[in-house]
Structure 1
């Protein structure tokens, strides 16, 4: 119940400040519409004729990373208003505080990804693996968002102000995005960049999502492997965020 109360409290703040939602989706929408229209003319061979469908998984991950990054920003707003410390001294489990705020970022990610999906339908994107593929995309997106929201939460508690936080998170998000297969297939990447892409777990999530969109067959082995990797990453980020919040309460 405590988790749901904190989740609802944060979501209510979001919808009272809709500009925070708008800002996190403007950039991905620009990427999806403009970049696919401009670059798609010369890259149709990469996507089997629909470059928008090819880059959609990467844009989905970018939306997820942006939403979860904005989730950590809430801590600085709460600290400036004093509500952060009121929650700390309230009879609420520390795990509920962390989980409630992380789930808010996850829920916001899903809302914005739904918007992207609706827009992509008008751009002739279809999921080749059908309804099963759509259902399999949900846990991948959830795990990606949960991991990033925990990491963002922990980082926000380490830093002194929102300016430094925003700078660091932008660096992290853009580094993850551009060292992935979001815009180009793995075959077109070589050298040191290819090594960076190979060790980037988000690149493999993008590949899994892309295969569900573009291919009729489902690679269950790869899906289960990535789900297992991200479950471990989620446990690590949640533990780090919880540990950091407990340290914050001590100080």
Structure 2
């Protein structure tokens, strides 16, 4: 697993543009959109709008980083290394975990850069060290789930063009049908139902409560943790099943 993880990390840093591209759009959202919409949101009672949208932008970064991780499968298939790994004496779980954890590590790197930028806008974690530990856990679970999903989808599709099209069709609705940019309380009707059906709504809300709230609300954080623990297990199982189908 570590060898595969290291192989993918080397590829990523030999192609740093893959990191820059996935980070550029979220940085624009964080800096420009918060500056443009910040004054309007202050009239709605939101003091630091950059801190308010940071959880949603972090999720956007994770989605983009994990989506780019799926491209590795197409590159490996093109140069033949994908099939060499399949016949090597390596367990299937190590192959899957090695690639998934690479996407998780890149997600953490990009979130760290995003967080460093947000400190210039007076963003802090009001819930302290306990809140920071929970934020790290939630980021890991979000990235692990999404990396397993993108791994599975990349093995399902014939080429990277179709893959990128499908992932854009998934990521954009996830982002916009969530409280990433606006308060959940202001929604109603069918739009609110759609937002509430989005599991990333609960991750964003949990991250927001940890950043803005001084108290860790266990009753709010625990259900989200359990939900994404189940989703992570399902994502990993799906990735394992798709890899097994590749060998049949």
Q: What is the TM-score with the length of structure 1 in the denominator?
A: 0.97
* TM-fit CA distance, 1:46: 4.7
User: Residues 151 and 240 of structure 1 are in contact (CA less than 8 Å); yes or no, is this contact kept in structure 2?
Assistant: yes
* TM-fit CA distance, 1:45: 4.3
Q: How does 1:33-44 map to 2 (within 5 A)?
A: 33-44=31-42
Q: 1:32 is matched with which residue?
A: 30
In 1: Cα distance, 2:193 partner to 2:210 partner: 24
1:132 to 130, 133, 149: 130
Q: 1:150 is matched with which residue?
A: 148
Deviant stretches of 4+, over 3 Å: 45-48
The RMSD of aligned alpha carbons is 0.9
User: Residues 47 and 54 of structure 1 are in contact (CA less than 8 Å); yes or no, is this contact kept in structure 2?
Assistant: no
**What do the CA deviations read for 1:97-140 (whole angstroms, capped 9, x no partner)?**
00000000000000000001110001111111112111110110
Please say if 1:88 is aligned against 2:86. yes
Q: What is the TM-score with the length of structure 2 in the denominator?
A: 0.98
Size of the aligned set, in residue pairs, is: 248
Q: How does 1:164-243 map to 2 (within 5 A)?
A: 164-243=162-241
In 2: Cα distance, 1:6 partner to 1:91 partner: 12
In 2: Cα distance, 1:47 partner to 1:242 partner: 46
1:121 to 106, 119, 122: 119
**What do the CA deviations read for 1:29-53 (whole angstroms, capped 9, x no partner)?**
0000000000111112456311000
In 2: Cα distance, 1:111 partner to 1:148 partner: 16
In 1: Cα distance, 2:133 partner to 2:45 partner: 22
In 1: Cα distance, 2:32 partner to 2:46 partner: 19
Please say if 1:52 is aligned against 2:42. no
Change (3 A) 1:47 1:171: farther
Q: Which runs of 5+ in 2 are unaligned?
A: none
In 2: Cα distance, 1:246 partner to 1:46 partner: 52
In 2: Cα distance, 1:207 partner to 1:46 partner: 18
Q: 2:73 is matched with which residue?
A: 75
In 1: Cα distance, 2:149 partner to 2:75 partner: 18
